[in-house]
Structure 1
Amino acid sequence: MLLEAIEHRPEGAMAHPLDVSSLKVRIRVKKGDAEAVGLFHGDRYQPEEQDQPMTLEKVACDGRFDWWEGVIPTETRRVRYVFWLEKGGKRWWYGEKAVVEKRSDAGAFQFAYICDGDRFDVPEWAQDAVVYQIFPERFANGDPDNDPEGTLPWNPASRPKPDSFYGGDLAGVIQKMPYLRDLGITAIYLTPIFLSPSNHKYNTDDYYQVDPHFGELETVKEMVHTAHAHGIRVIFDAVFNHSGAGFFAYRDVLEKGEDSPYRDWFRIDSFPVATKPEPNYETFANGVADMPKLMTHRPAVREYLLKVAEYWTREAGIDGWRLDVANEVDFAFWRAFRQRVRAIHPEALIVGEVWHDAGPWLRGDQFDSVMNYLFREAVCAFFAERSIDAKTFDARLAAARMRYPDQANAAMFNLLGSHDTERFLTLCGGDRRRMRMAVLFQLTYWGIPMIYYGDEVGMEGGPDPDCRRPMAWDPVDQDRDLWEWHRMLLSLRRELAPLRRGQIRTWVVEPDKGIYGFLRRQGMETVGVVLNNGIRRRRLILEAPDWEDGTHVRERLSDSRIQVKKRRIRFTLSPGESAIFTQD
């Protein structure tokens, strides 16, 4: 056994309370190295002789390591534990001191106390949510009277330029609420709606004013009220990493230079402030002059932005925030943000934009989840590009899951595309079969599905700004079969609790055949999902997880029944086909 590969820390994703009486622990071991893993646990203040044994389950393999986990019960909230690992009849002990052959030399890990103030509480509603991302300027034009000058005709086949306007607004969102409800959407996430000269609004000029081309404060309130009446929650987009060039503090610095009381709201190299040929101040990305970076560690900046978040949470009655460029803002700001927003709305969902490993932000004190681009990258590679096989796909998904606590995994925004990416169907080369498989996977996997507007009707588009075409509303421009596919799967997701709240385990991986399957379990109920991403029809014989011999399972897409024989189910999948199994 490669002892150097064994890893555990009594914190974060490797040790996190699920509630006040249970602690989930994970341990990493070299792939294939351990035949069995378990632990002994007890109250920190009780003698070791009273410790209780527990066997762990191997739950994932990320290609290099196996991951084992279990849930330790505790009545006192104080937990001590030591792992054991077996291979070839030999046992090793692993505690805080070392990995050794003698338990007394290993020491023990300590989770000192499950404190109420440190618990990772994700809003209850989030586990059942399906989110629909709306780019307001391109979703629907409900009020032509507020159109910007030079508004172009609404045409889903047009190719937007970076400065194109089509007249989408909040009145359009209000009018399309029945459409969203009928599709099965339970939450909408809108990209920024505050005053800004751009179509995307990520360069905010006034954080307290709705952009007049979208509507006004009363329009926002009507939109939120209408959404709630349709059973749909509303999530706003906050741009606190940087402002727009029209932001009052930035304008003051431009005018007064070193004499401006707002000079330390930004990081300025020298005075006077210069925007050309290159800005002499820090900006979003590299040299984006109209997006000066805000110094959120400054008390005045922090307080201003936190009050903005409080104002809209309270005034509009929204249900959460998506936080732009969240990984470039200091941790202390986000901790304060969570506390202030949750004080107003205890069930507000807080989601960060982080394109990489987001572990540092997902400890329960900052975000509930992030835009799950690790998920998207794996799905694009497997289904759209077919650049990885099922084994690699499974490993990448496993690696992503093991980075985060369960609470965060359950609330991840699992997206196929967004306003920042090429449309998924375009990545598939227009192949509807690949798109349908990816959608089925997205809507049955662990986390919150996030549908980018128009994907459900087969919209295409290349990289930004082409991925931001006006929404296709005319039925002749829509793929209604794809829309029905989304609606049917979302209905199934509502019906089957494991697809919303169940734990996930890999069921089948056949990399040479393109076969991939997984199980979702909640309590005594199990749902099995299998996809054929290969090029040939395959006959499959799979172990029945919790289904007894002689009973039947039901394949929900074809409404067919299969009898369990010798703890196996037998069925056939053609290329591009999927199956969803439940106990009949």
Structure 2
Amino acid sequence: MIKEAIYHRPKDNFAYAYDKETLHIRLRSKKGDLTKVSLIYGDPYEWNDEGWKNSKKTMTLEGTDELFDIWFVEVKPKYKRMRYGFEIKSNENFLIYGEDGFIEKDPKNAHFYFCFPFLNENDVFNAPAWVKDTIWYQIFPERFANGNPLLNPKNTIPWGSTEPQFDTFFGGDLEGIINNIGHLTELGVNGIYLTPIFKAKSNHKYDTIDYMEIDPQFGDKKTFKKLIEVCHENNIRVMLDAVFNHSGFYFEPFQHVLEYQEKSKYRDWFHLRDIKVKALPEANYDTFAFTHLMPKLNTENEELKKYLLEVGKYWVEEFDIDGWRLDVANEVDHQFWRDFRKTVKSVKPDAYILGEVWHDSMPWLQGDQFDAVMNYPFTQAVVEYIAKDEINSEVFKHKLIKLLSNYPKNVNEYNFNLLGSHDTPRILTLCQDNKDKLKLLFLLQFSFIGSPCIYYGDEIGLTGEGDPSCRKCMVWDKDAQDTDLFTFLKKLIDLRKRYSAFGANGQFEVIESAKETNHIMYSKKTVEEQIIITINNSNSALKVHLPFDISKNESMNLWDNKPQKISEIEIEPLSFSIIKL
């Protein structure tokens, strides 16, 4: 038994409240080392003549990555408090593992064990229930549709007339979105994520000048209110993008600092390094990355904090938006986000708060800050496996297991799963224009746990390398759209809406993977239904056997709506099967 590899951390992703009466407990061990793990648990105050009273429950092997096994159990403590540890067995050894380490037998003393002090309902991770059933659609407003040419900025060029550059304006606006809501409802979208719409100098608007005003290029508050109304009438939620990590160069308080220097009342709103502030040739203040045009905000300053919290509240209160996506969220202090959550939720308790964090995000997902993060580790894993063929299905399986065990299950159910965004190359381009591979990616995305997001234009085959090419104008000429892709996505969305197990509610489990054939088979399961999905990411036909006896059951191929009578399935190259048991 490799004791050095055995790991548990209480009150984190390895021990957490799933709901107001249920605890989830995990244990990590070396891959293949342990043969059985049981949870020893009981109330810390229940004792008898033999000592502490406890019970045992067998843990299941939740998953295995390249190094570790992850064991899992669900338990409902009688009095909402629990001391617990683990009975662990290998082929050679038997040990008890608790907070004090390893021992050969149960000491019948609660103090040896790990502690979950009390299951307080306020501590349960609580994200808006509607998100699990939401299909997001990300819109970059400057490039979606030009609905009112009278709003065009100077030097606006004809729609889609050239490849975009960093400073190109095509005239996209809010009216353009309103005019094309039908495209989204036909697809089946019920959530829109808008990149920033506040007054700014650039075409991307991440350099905010005024957080309380719509950029004139996009319209005004009256038009925005109409957009919200039209969306809500069509059962579409709307999430805005805000940048509280940094402002734009022309943000009035920063201009005040540049003009009045050490006498400016706004000096402490920013992270300044010298008494005299200068932008060029090199900024002597903290910025986003190294661009002098985006000075970093000091969210620990109480006056600035009050202003930004009012921004968060204002757009929810006055316009009934449904959520905030928060740019560069990992560089802002945690206390600001705790106060931001309280402020926004006080106005709209079911508002969705989504952080842009590209890495392991557990510190932001404790229930006191974000409801979810943009799930870029998922993006990276599926792109490496299918789009780029950089890893085989076995390595891909390991990455998914690690990803899912990094967070509590109730966090995974609300994470924001994307294949690409305004910050990445177009997903079809990463697939080297192979639409069969793109379809496999869409299937993985829409059948995975969490809330999927389509980047505008991906549904009709837009291509493009990284910024600025990934921010092309949307193509509205039907003859130039890939209608086959659109129909494919529409069908996936319909499956997700019709079958609870297919989407965020289905428990995900890898059934098999093989690097030789490069296929992966996984299950999505609820109490009522089970769906088996097999992806053949190879250029050869594949025969697989479902590890279930389906001869006596009414199994169905959900893609062609035909009965599935036998366990053997033949799958064409770069194709898939979706079988409902």
In structure 2, C-alpha distance between the alignment counterparts of 1:509 and 1:49, rounded to whole Å:
44
Write out per-residue CA displacement over residues 514-537 of structure 1, whole angstroms, 9 at most, x where no aligned residue. 111111111131111110001211
Match of 1:28 in 2: 28
- Secondary structure of 2:257's aligned partner: helix
Q: Map 1:172-251 onto structure 2 (within 5 A).
A: 172-251=176-255
- Give the residue type in structure 1 aligned to 2:23: L
> Does the 8 Å CA contact 1:368/1:407 hold for their aligned counterparts?
no
Q: Map 1:60-99 onto structure 2 (within 5 A).
A: 60-88=63-91, 90-99=93-102
Q: Map 1:67-466 onto structure 2 (within 5 A).
A: 67-88=70-91, 90-104=93-107, 107-155=112-160, 158-286=162-290, 288-466=291-469
In structure 2, C-alpha distance between the alignment counterparts of 1:317 and 1:542, rounded to whole Å:
48
- Secondary structure of 1:517's aligned partner: strand
In structure 1, C-alpha distance between the alignment counterparts of 2:563 and 2:24, rounded to whole Å:
37
2:80 counterpart of 1:52: no
- Give the residue type in structure 1 aligned to 2:375: N
Match of 2:558 in 1: 556
Match of 1:520 in 2: 524
- Secondary structure of 2:87's aligned partner: strand
- Give the residue type in structure 1 aligned to 2:169: F
Per the TM alignment, residue 13 of structure 1 is displaced from its structure 2 partner at its CA by 0.8
> Does the 8 Å CA contact 2:44/2:52 hold for their aligned counterparts?
no
In structure 2, C-alpha distance between the alignment counterparts of 1:420 and 1:163, rounded to whole Å:
16
Per the TM alignment, residue 89 of structure 1 is displaced from its structure 2 partner at its CA by 6.2
Write out per-residue CA displacement over residues 84-143 of structure 1, whole angstroms, 9 at most, x where no aligned residue. 111226422111111232221892111101112222101000111111100000011111
In structure 2, C-alpha distance between the alignment counterparts of 1:237 and 1:100, rounded to whole Å:
52
Match of 1:536 in 2: 540
* RMSD of aligned residue pairs (Cα, Å): 1.3
In structure 2, C-alpha distance between the alignment counterparts of 1:467 and 1:304, rounded to whole Å:
33
Per the TM alignment, residue 219 of structure 1 is displaced from its structure 2 partner at its CA by 1.2
In structure 2, C-alpha distance between the alignment counterparts of 1:52 and 1:216, rounded to whole Å:
63
Per the TM alignment, residue 7 of structure 1 is displaced from its structure 2 partner at its CA by 0.6
Per the TM alignment, residue 322 of structure 1 is displaced from its structure 2 partner at its CA by 0.5
- Secondary structure of 1:305's aligned partner: helix
Name whichever of 203-212 and 99-108 sits farther off: 99-108
2:578 counterpart of 1:580: yes
In structure 1, C-alpha distance between the alignment counterparts of 2:246 and 2:136, rounded to whole Å:
26
Name whichever of 82-91 and 434-443 sits farther off: 82-91
Per the TM alignment, residue 503 of structure 1 is displaced from its structure 2 partner at its CA by 1.2
> Does the 8 Å CA contact 1:21/1:76 hold for their aligned counterparts?
no
Per the TM alignment, residue 73 of structure 1 is displaced from its structure 2 partner at its CA by 0.6
Write out per-residue CA displacement over residues 39-63 of structure 1, whole angstroms, 9 at most, x where no aligned residue. 1212222126532221111111121
Name whichever of 385-394 and 401-410 sits farther off: 401-410
- Give the residue type in structure 2 aligned to 1:400: L
Write out per-residue CA displacement over residues 16-41 of structure 1, whole angstroms, 9 at most, x where no aligned residue. 11111100111111111111111121
* Aligned with residue 482 of structure 2, among 476, 479, 482: 479
- Secondary structure of 2:119's aligned partner: coil
Write out per-residue CA displacement over residues 214-249 of structure 1, whole angstroms, 9 at most, x where no aligned residue. 011111111111111101100010100000111121
Structure 1 residue ranges (4+ consecutive) displaced by more than 4 angstroms after TM superposition = none
In structure 2, C-alpha distance between the alignment counterparts of 1:162 and 1:471, rounded to whole Å:
17
In structure 2, C-alpha distance between the alignment counterparts of 1:511 and 1:553, rounded to whole Å:
28
Name whichever of 573-582 and 101-110 sits farther off: 101-110
In structure 1, C-alpha distance between the alignment counterparts of 2:332 and 2:295, rounded to whole Å:
13
Per the TM alignment, residue 190 of structure 1 is displaced from its structure 2 partner at its CA by 0.3
In structure 1, C-alpha distance between the alignment counterparts of 2:367 and 2:65, rounded to whole Å:
24
TM-score (norm 2): 0.97
In structure 1, C-alpha distance between the alignment counterparts of 2:497 and 2:305, rounded to whole Å:
40
> Does the 8 Å CA contact 1:62/1:395 hold for their aligned counterparts?
yes
In structure 2, C-alpha distance between the alignment counterparts of 1:136 and 1:74, rounded to whole Å:
50
- Secondary structure of 1:19's aligned partner: coil
- Secondary structure of 2:16's aligned partner: strand
Name whichever of 314-323 and 55-64 sits farther off: 55-64
Write out per-residue CA displacement over residues 169-213 of structure 1, whole angstroms, 9 at most, x where no aligned residue. 111111111211111111110000000010000000000000011
- Secondary structure of 1:205's aligned partner: strand
- Give the residue type in structure 2 aligned to 1:128: D
In structure 2, C-alpha distance between the alignment counterparts of 1:578 and 1:539, rounded to whole Å:
11
Per the TM alignment, residue 355 of structure 1 is displaced from its structure 2 partner at its CA by 0.8
Write out per-residue CA displacement over residues 463-505 of structure 1, whole angstroms, 9 at most, x where no aligned residue. 1000000001111221100000000010011000012211111
Residue identity over aligned pairs, in percent, reads 40
> Does the 8 Å CA contact 1:421/1:464 hold for their aligned counterparts?
yes
- Give the residue type in structure 2 aligned to 1:397: L
Write out per-residue CA displacement over residues 323-342 of structure 1, whole angstroms, 9 at most, x where no aligned residue. 00000000000011111111
> Does the 8 Å CA contact 1:321/1:351 hold for their aligned counterparts?
yes
- Give the residue type in structure 1 aligned to 2:431: C
Name whichever of 453-462 and 108-117 sits farther off: 108-117
TM-score (norm 1): 0.96
> Does the 8 Å CA contact 2:39/2:73 hold for their aligned counterparts?
no
- Give the residue type in structure 2 aligned to 1:6: I
In structure 2, C-alpha distance between the alignment counterparts of 1:298 and 1:99, rounded to whole Å:
47
In structure 2, C-alpha distance between the alignment counterparts of 1:131 and 1:442, rounded to whole Å:
12
- Secondary structure of 1:543's aligned partner: coil
In structure 2, C-alpha distance between the alignment counterparts of 1:389 and 1:11, rounded to whole Å:
34
- Secondary structure of 1:407's aligned partner: helix
> Does the 8 Å CA contact 1:508/1:542 hold for their aligned counterparts?
no
> Does the 8 Å CA contact 2:564/2:579 hold for their aligned counterparts?
no
In structure 1, C-alpha distance between the alignment counterparts of 2:129 and 2:394, rounded to whole Å:
33
- Secondary structure of 2:413's aligned partner: helix
Q: Gapped runs of 5+ residues in structure 1?
A: none
Per the TM alignment, residue 549 of structure 1 is displaced from its structure 2 partner at its CA by 5.0
- Give the residue type in structure 1 aligned to 2:2: L
Per the TM alignment, residue 441 of structure 1 is displaced from its structure 2 partner at its CA by 0.8
